[in-house]
Amino acid sequence: MSLQAAAKSRESESHRGNNETHIMLYLDALTKIRNAQAAQQETVKFPFSNFTLAILEALEKNRFVESVSKKGRAPKRYLEVRLKYKNGKGAIGGMKILSTPSRRLYVGYGELKPVRQGFGVSVISTPKGVLDNKTARREKVGGQLLFEVW
């Protein structure tokens, strides 16, 4: 194996690892939200990433969390999420992780169906950014189906 081929191989491995890190960050954020709601906490903090911020903003847009804010300065930035409760119960009744690092699930916009008869949403990573299923259908764009929440 030549030096150039070895460098290219290491470069592609590091890129793959970086993508998996983003996926693990948003999965960790969803788990923390679920656990914090079970413990009736008001806020939750996460390490900052643009991908996690986009996902949390999609949840905020669909009223599953009350607010999302970016705090701190460059090396120590974090996200703070204020959780939403309805009648003492968390606004998120349940969630289902659809894409994992070992199994990616892709859908076209025509395959996007309502979640829980319209009471839930699915979150999709598209070329136009992170969108919910209703917006993705309206904009006629598909992508990686990340999770469903209801």
Other Cβ atoms closer than 10 A to 57: 15
What per-residue confidence (pLDDT) applies to 15? Answer: 43
What per-residue confidence (pLDDT) applies to 42? Answer: 94
Q: 46, 55 in Cβ contact below 8 A?
A: no
SS3 content of the chain, % helix, strand, coil (to 5): 40, 30, 25
Alpha-carbon distance 134 to 105, whole Å? Answer: 18
What is the tens place of the pLDDT at every residue in 71-122? 998 889 999 999 999 888 889 999 999 988 889 999 998 999 989 988 999 9
What is the tens place of the pLDDT at every residue in 22-58? 667 888 999 999 999 999 999 999 899 999 999 999 9
DSSP category for residue 19: H
Q: Could you give all domains of the chain from N- to C-terminal order, each with its CATH number?
A: 3-149 (3.30.1490.10)
